[in-house]
Structure 1
Amino acid sequence: MTIHTISETQHTIDRLFDLQQAHAVKLRKSPATARINLLKRLLEWIMTHQEDIRKAIHADFKKPYTEIDISEIFVVTSEINHTIKHLSSWMKPKKVPTPLTMLGSTSYVHYEPKGVCLIISPWNYPFNLALGPLVSALAAGNTAIIKPSEMTPHTSALLRRLVAEVFDEQVVAVVEGEVEAAQLLLQKPFDHIFFTGSPAVGKIIMRAAAEHLSSVTLELGGKSPAVIDQRVDFKDAASKLVWGKFVNCGQTCIAPDYVLVHASAKKELIDALKSTIEVMYNPAGKGVQASPDYARIVNTKHLNRLSSMLQDAVDKGAVIESGGVIDVAENYFEPTIISGVTEEMELMQEEIFGPILPIMEYQALDEAVDYINKHPKPLALYSFSKSDDFNKQVIAHTSSGGAVANDCVLHFLQTELPFGGVNNSGIGKAHGYYGFLAFSNEKAVMKQRIGLTASKPLYPPYGAVAKKVVESLLKWF
């Protein structure tokens, strides 16, 4: 049912939250088989409705079908399959060693669901970034309310349909709406909130969560750099940078936001980038705009923001090396390479989130590292070199949510790795086992023997024996 008024939204949220809060208690003891069943039902729906998924996402911003399969559908199905395979093992209580001071006791970590969870998903990967966290929430035994982005209405409607057909609303529900719907949801005392979006909105989410002491996972963004050595395979690096930057028309939180290249390699890298754009997006020579493999900007507002950033850079002396063509009627923004950028330009002050790739140069690696470290910690960092030493230095001397040597973006697809940011680029980790942990309370459980224990000599009254025991503890433990 589509919600039209604030009062209807409030009523729906109140009802769903109460329903899920009551049901969450029952799910605390749900076995792996029950949770896997839910995941299998979700997987089956996705596999049998792939065409519907493609049509919905394409309707929102003309994303190519193959790109949808790779970056939206496959990401979710691989997450589900990985979770199904390992969930029983993840759920088992983990026994921990017993120190001599606790002799006679046993201890373990018990994983229990946090309870009722809120997932606020973004518009740039509207299917993937709504259902990926849901997989982890269900695996951990929680209920969840999903608030999809109003900027991708076709995909939001599809998510609402999916959830209604696969789940009982006491387990999973979708609440659609504008910003007001999100604000009403944030007034509820959720046990965990998983948000994907900008650092600015992440701060709003965190403030709202603080009112109820709700735990949060914040998947944010930032300016993810790519550092290029002069000892590099230019053709290989360019192909990876072009794909990582311009997939989804640059609207990717882990896309390389800007390039730091050694001054001696700048021209060769730019030439390689330009030729690679032609190979990938203009193989027939009819122009990138005619390519069926290049997505569009999500809406006119975002297009205008990008256009303004590009114009600001040009006005302040930057040079467009390639691209720069914009067609407002189509929300088309050509893949753009720009050099001569400075920190005063808007392009270098905020995350671009679009198909503009600024090129900066450095003379010594320390310059590049210092530049990165002077700015907020990015969600991702990429280093390209034939020298392992170079890549190790870049990664070791900078801080980022994730890092990749000689590629970019692909770490998001590695289900065995934690995904997330640090400080400005995010809090908490997601995917696979790390997503399961994010939605779980790691309860410490200790079992003590009956009768004499290692701690009883320390009970009052504190006599000579207690004093000697304490002296031994301080000296030896």
Structure 2
Amino acid sequence: MPTDANTPALPAPEHGDGAESAMRTAITADVAALRASFDAGTTRDVSARLAQLEALRTGLRREHRRLTRALAQDLGKNGTEAAITEIGVVTQEIAHVRRHLRSWLHPSSLSLGPLLAPSSAHVRREPLGLALIIAPWNYPLNLTLAPLVAAIAGGNTVIVKPSEVAPATSAALTHLLRTWLDPGWVRVVEGAVEETTVLLQQRFDLIFYTGSAAVGRIVARAAAEHLTPTVLELGGKSPVFVDEGVDLAVAARRIVWGKFTNTGQTCVAPDYLMATPSTLEKLVPHLRRAAREMYGRDPRRSRDYGRMVDLKHFERVRGLIDDEKTVLGGTEEADREERYLPPTIMTGVRWEDPVMAEEIFGPVLPLLAVDGPDEAIARIREREKPLTAYVFTDRAAIEERFATETSSGSLAVGLTLAHVGTPTMPFGGVGGSGTGAYHGRVGVETFTHAKPIVRKALTPDTLRIIYPPYTRAKRALLTRLFR
């Protein structure tokens, strides 16, 4: 993801006026109250966790209209798109987690080997404690609540920090969580850089951050002060390779949908597309046709096409467009007052062009010519590891090469974007695109600790074999045991 509008600083000494002091006091009080609630055992009972998840599901249904209005206000998001990519993803996540949570938490047995026999052992998943979720603005509902579902299911108390860059959704989320969830489980802190900085000065048992790599580094440094583990869901330039011989019409529709959904403001949106020159020449008309089919000849009038979140990001993305290379859209169609950037496709793009220097995070798709799979793989490998990579191929050998010779948070063959909303699929980055994962069972594992519990009777004391003095007989027996 691109740099957030407000970047938190590393923790600094306390100072400031009365308003800042009051804000700091309120945050520290929330932290203390939630830690006390956790220590009292409020969140340990699995039935209580399921009840909180059901309350959240009910709240999403009852607050549906308020939430969709807020998403439309912040991002120009169509109600159907909001239902699919925001509210629907979360309700599906809740249903999946509630259905399987008890079985996921069931202790699993371990064998301790002959040296400790007779003995028994099992692994039990225990809550971490108090978690902090710092959410982004691009999918401000989905990417706030999906990790919250995992945190609650894991038995934690949580402070949620929505993004101030999407203020209407931040307010709607705050209303949702304060109305429908128990304040002994979840509390919300709204605000910007000052509030985030104060939050990062507190001690948490896990910090879950979604956003830019630049701010991710700041979060990780602040967490290190308390040795707090972090989950960092970042981003990067997710590549697409279109192989020769595939159905270009279908591939174009899937690429266009994945790229221009949410106006391209998606951390796993196709960032750039590679293909051979002959494939690109045949693909361009299909891409243009797919964009017209989905958003019409004037996407500005389409109810299904959104807007840039604010003028800062509007100007940043507009500055990446080279009108001399556009075959669709371009800056001449842009409208600053409406924060409108059209679906834009650029051809003849070079690797050193500005649009290739950073994650685009907007409705601009650069097309780059490569010799074939060899060069495409090499180009991916020379960059930071992406959050996901996309391949359109009918050849199993090419699919396998991308799977084994490139590294990314996920690899999707024959589709874009849709896979990340599946609760059975772990979602997370690798290297520069992030650390840790969530969704479904993996999310519960992220917000819990796998604690081994070992049991051995005091009699008979079979461990005497490892006590000194080490006689010849003991040494011989131990040698055999440790082979």
* TM-score range relative to shorter protein: over 0.9
Alpha-carbon displacement from aligned partner over 1:52-105 (angstroms, at most 9, x marks no partner): 111111111211110000000001000000010001111111112332333211
Q: Does 1:294 align with 2:305?
A: yes
CA distance in 1, matches of 2:103, 2:171: 35
Partner residue, 1:219 = 233
From 457, 460, 464, give the equivalent of 2:472.
Answer: 464
Partner residue, 1:303 = 314
Q: How far did residue 263 of structure 1 move?
A: 2.3
Partner residue, 1:446 = 454
Aligned residue pairs: how many? 465
**3-state SS of paired residue (2:438):** coil
- Could you tell me which amino acid in structure 2 is paired with residue 464 of structure 1? R
Q: How far did residue 28 of structure 1 move?
A: 7.1
From 325, 345, 353, give the equivalent of 1:319.
Answer: 325
Partner residue, 1:332 = 340
Partner residue, 2:94 = 80
CA distance in 2, matches of 1:235, 1:79: 32
CA distance in 1, matches of 2:265, 2:231: 21
Q: Does 1:242 align with 2:256?
A: yes
The answer to which of 458-467 and 195-204 deviates more is 458-467
- Could you tell me which amino acid in structure 2 is paired with residue 261 of structure 1? A
Partner residue, 1:393 = 401
Partner residue, 1:228 = 242
**3-state SS of paired residue (1:443):** strand
**3-state SS of paired residue (2:32):** helix
**3-state SS of paired residue (1:404):** strand
From 275, 286, 293, give the equivalent of 1:261.
Answer: 275
From 139, 160, 165, give the equivalent of 2:179.
Answer: 165
For structure 1, list consecutive stretches of 5 or more residues without a partner in the other structure: none
Partner residue, 2:13 = none
Q: Write the mapping of 1:63-102 to structure 2, written as runs, cut at 5 A.
A: 63-102=77-116
Q: Write the mapping of 1:15-414 to structure 2, written as runs, cut at 5 A.
A: 15-27=29-41, 30-282=44-296, 285=297, 287-311=298-322, 319-324=325-330, 325-414=333-422
Q: For the structure 1 residues 185 and 471, does the alpha-carbon distance in structure 2 shift closer, same or farther, using more than 3 Å as the test?
A: same
CA distance in 1, matches of 2:137, 2:219: 17
- Give the share of equivalent positions with the same residue, in percent: 39
* Structure 1 segments (4+ residues) deviating >6 Å: none
**3-state SS of paired residue (1:328):** coil
- Could you tell me which amino acid in structure 2 is paired with residue 418 of structure 1? P
- Could you tell me which amino acid in structure 2 is paired with residue 431 of structure 1? H
From 421, 430, 443, give the equivalent of 1:435.
Answer: 443
Contact 1:19 1:170 in 2 (8 A): yes
The answer to which of 141-150 and 302-311 deviates more is 302-311
CA distance in 2, matches of 1:343, 1:198: 22
- Could you tell me which amino acid in structure 1 is paired with residue 381 of structure 2? N
Q: How far did residue 343 of structure 1 move?
A: 2.6
Alpha-carbon displacement from aligned partner over 1:361-383 (angstroms, at most 9, x marks no partner): 11131111011001100000110
Q: How far did residue 29 of structure 1 move?
A: 6.8
**3-state SS of paired residue (2:284):** helix
- Could you tell me which amino acid in structure 1 is paired with residue 361 of structure 2? F
The answer to which of 100-109 and 273-282 deviates more is 100-109
Contact 1:326 1:334 in 2 (8 A): yes
Q: Write the mapping of 1:409-428 to structure 2, written as runs, cut at 5 A.
A: 409-428=417-436
Contact 2:63 2:176 in 1 (8 A): no
Contact 2:349 2:368 in 1 (8 A): yes
Contact 1:114 1:142 in 2 (8 A): yes
CA distance in 1, matches of 2:445, 2:42: 15
CA distance in 1, matches of 2:64, 2:181: 18
CA distance in 2, matches of 1:301, 1:30: 44
Q: How far did residue 454 of structure 1 move?
A: 4.9
CA distance in 2, matches of 1:227, 1:390: 10
CA distance in 2, matches of 1:168, 1:433: 23
Contact 2:275 2:372 in 1 (8 A): no
Q: For the structure 1 residues 410 and 97, does the alpha-carbon distance in structure 2 shift closer, same or farther, using more than 3 Å as the test?
A: farther
For structure 2, list consecutive stretches of 5 or more residues without a partner in the other structure: 1-17
The answer to which of 369-378 and 28-37 deviates more is 28-37
Contact 1:327 1:333 in 2 (8 A): yes
**3-state SS of paired residue (1:358):** strand
User: So what's the TM-score if we normalise by structure 2?
Assistant: 0.94
